[in-house]
Amino acid sequence: MDANKTARLKRRATNWALNIALFIAMAIICLPGLWIVLNSLRPTVEIMAKPPVWIPNQLSFDAYRDMFSGIGQGGIPVLQYFRNSMIIAVTSTVISLAIGMSGGYAFARYRFRFKGGWFLGLMLTRAVPGIALSLPLFFLYARVGLIDTHAGMILAYTALNVPFTIWLIDGFFRQVPKDLAEAAQIDGCTRWQAFWQVEFPLARPGIASAGIFAFLTSWNEFALASQLTRSTSSKTLPVGLLDYTAEFTIDWRGMCALAVVMIIPALLLTYAVQKHLVSGLTSGAIKG
């Protein structure tokens, strides 16, 4: 066999092996999601069966119907939880982005004293696990009356998200050549106009990424929310999952159904924002 043919076959075999490896990896990643959707549609007996039943015998939407059928009839205040989650996640995301954009821009563009120290300090706050903060936060919030309020949760999540959004947005602003803002200023822009007209549109992929991250963190967070919320008026969807646990039983099907309800908005948001995540938007700005 000549060397060219061997090389061609080897390349083809490598491609196949890579595709199979990717398929397996994707299957492992997607399987829990698929399992949750499947479990929300079948009876608890089948969910708990050993060995596991991979192909359901029958599918029903009972869990979803029960979820919305009101208190006392197997339902939970899902719409209220949804509303709480939405208010808390959206507000904390908007605030985190506003602070993240200002901070990220400042770190990317300005020189100031102790810049490295400030940045390191922000990053170190990420090293503290959220749950370790729950007890001090609980005492503090209890004192100032923020327990079981939207404002308290928004504040906590904003504090959690800001370091990461600053870090992420800083990186994207660094990729936008400084010359562009200067060219805009020479073209007649104020610094503020140069930011909105030129730098912001080019850093949009980073801002969108930071937005998704901040929203998902707030949307999915459980540990802090379970400590700092009490009533229906402030509990978020992840905390709402606990409504399906009783002293001796856990309604796995209902829990999975609520999990699906939680996943859908997050998926829709990611899908809506992903078009802004196009990289390489700055290509052509400068030499090359």
Partner 1 sequence: MATLSLSRLDKNYGSFHAVKGIDLDVADGEFVALVGPSGCGKSTTLRMIAGLEDITSGDIRIGDRVVNDLPPRDRNISMVFQSYALYPHMTVGENMGFTLKIAGRGKAEIAEAVAKAARVLEIEALLDRRPAQLSGGQRQRVAMGRAIVRDPDVFLFDEPLSNLDAKLRGQMRTEIKELHARLESTIVYVTHDQVEAMTLADRIVIMKDGRIEQVGSPDEVFNRPATQFVAGFIGSPPMNMADARVVGGNLRLSDEAELPLPPGVAAQDGQNVVLGLRPDDIYPQGHGIHTEGGDAVEPRDLTVKLSEPLGNETLLFVDFGGKGWTARMLNPRIVKRGEVLGFHMDLSRAHLFDAETGRSLRTE
DSSP-H helix ranges across 148-273: 150-175, 178-186, 191-194, 200-220, 223-228, 237-240, 252-273
- The binding track of 196-225 with respect to partner 1, each residue x by CB under 8 A or -, is -xx--xx-----------------------
Helices (H) and strands (E) in the chain, counts: 13, 0
CB closer to partner 1, 63 vs 208: 208
CB of 202 to partner 1, least distance (A): 6
In 3D space, the residue among 118, 117, 105 whose CA is nearest the CA of residue 172 turns out to be 105
CB closer to partner 1, 15 vs 190: 190
- Looking at 186, 246, 264, 275, which residue binds partner 1 (CB under 8 A)? 186
CB closer to partner 1, 88 vs 203: 203
- Looking at 175, 185, 226, 270, which residue binds partner 1 (CB under 8 A)? 185
User: Distance between CA atoms of 2 and 132, rounded to whole angstroms?
Assistant: 64
- Looking at 193, 226, 232, 270, which residue binds partner 1 (CB under 8 A)? 193
* DSSP structure string for 192-213: HHHIIIIIHHHHHHHHHHHHHH
- Contact between 272 and 215 (Cβ < 8 Å): no
279 makes contact with partner 1 (CB under 8 A): no
- Looking at 38, 86, 87, 183, which residue binds partner 1 (CB under 8 A)? 183
CB closer to partner 1, 38 vs 180: 180
Preceding omega of 51 cis (within 30 degrees of 0):
yes
CB of 186 to partner 1, least distance (A): 5
In 3D space, the residue among 223, 268, 214 whose CA is nearest the CA of residue 241 turns out to be 223
Binding site for partner 1 (CB under 8 A): 177, 179-180, 182-190, 193, 197-198, 201-202, 281-288
